[in-house]
Amino acid sequence: MARARGSERFSTSNSQEWDSAKVGHSESRYGPDQNEVSSGGTVPAAENCNTMDPSASGPDRSERRRLRGGATTPTAILAAEHDLIFDVVQALEAGLDRSAKIDRSVWENAVGFLRSFGAQHHAKENIVLLAALERRGIPATERTLRAMVEEHEEEAALLDTLAQTLAELASERSDAAVRFRQAARAYAAHLRTHMEHEARHLFPMAERELSAEDERDVLHRFLLFRHATDGEDEYERLLALASQIRRQA
């Protein structure tokens, strides 16, 4: 079924223009394959999601705003989160381009945002979406799903390096600023590539394979997962932090 979804910024409609050389080696991970991977995590039970129905009244204000704004499917919500992350990273990179001075407090906030918001976003993909696709007969060993999990692990390692080089800015290391800038560029490049991969491969797979009922179930689990972990207040805090970082970067 043809439904309009996803991020325009990472639209799959321009896939013919998409050059695998731009996104590096990891594109070759995508496609039909049956190698092994473990997704990990626990899927929230749908029966516990009855009070999380996005069409009903309830506590989840930000998600409702997104749904009112048109993000009514799992991939539309994930794409909206990509856009939010992309905007933060783009502002941070623009700050690096603009000034030789590195504002450590802004970057400390950024690392905190990217860790926390990224963890929520990855959980939606690694646990909830992956399980829904498994229920439709696509194993976690399928190439696109395996690549997604691997890229999330790489992203976490790059973010660790970014945090480490950020801490080193306070040290006497003469090359601390150069190392930090390299780490920031590497993280941003990986993130952009990963989001493009998901827009090109993962989201179309989900839109193709999941029924409308599956999608409602995934939406319920997204909401349940948030309430079971960090809660709505934390989500709102992260949205506000993203705006603050974009203003200050």
Assess contact for 134 and 140: CB atoms under 8 A.
yes
Residue type, 130: L
Considering only residues 198, 207, 215, 217, which one is a binding residue for Fe ion as defined by CB under 5 A? 198
Give the nearest distance from C-beta 44 to Fe ion in angstroms: 18
Nearer to Fe ion, 60 or 125 (CB): 125
Give the nearest distance from C-beta 218 to Fe ion in angstroms: 14
Q: Which stretch binds Fe ion (CB under 5 A): 23-31, 112-120, 191-199, 215-223?
A: 191-199
Give the nearest distance from C-beta 239 to Fe ion in angstroms: 17
**Cα distance between residue 203 and residue 76, in whole Å:** 9
The reply to whether 155 sits near Fe ion by the rule CB under 5 A is no
Contacts of residue 12, defined as CB under 8 A and 6 or more positions apart, other chains included, come to 6, 199, 200, 203, 204
Assess contact for 155 and 191: CB atoms under 8 A.
yes
Which two three-digit tokens encode residue 128? Answer: 């909830």
Q: Which stretch binds Fe ion (CB under 5 A): 29-37, 96-104, 110-118, 198-206?
A: 198-206
Neighbours of 84 (CB within 10 A): 18
Give the nearest distance from C-beta 78 to Fe ion in angstroms: 5
Give the nearest distance from C-beta 154 to Fe ion in angstroms: 11
Q: Which stretch binds Fe ion (CB under 5 A): 4-12, 37-45, 124-132, 225-233?
A: 124-132
Assess contact for 188 and 89: CB atoms under 8 A.
yes
**Cα distance between residue 241 and residue 78, in whole Å:** 19
Q: Which stretch binds Fe ion (CB under 5 A): 8-16, 169-177, 190-198, 227-235?
A: 190-198
Please report, as ranges, the residues that interact with Fe ion according to CB under 5 A: 125, 198
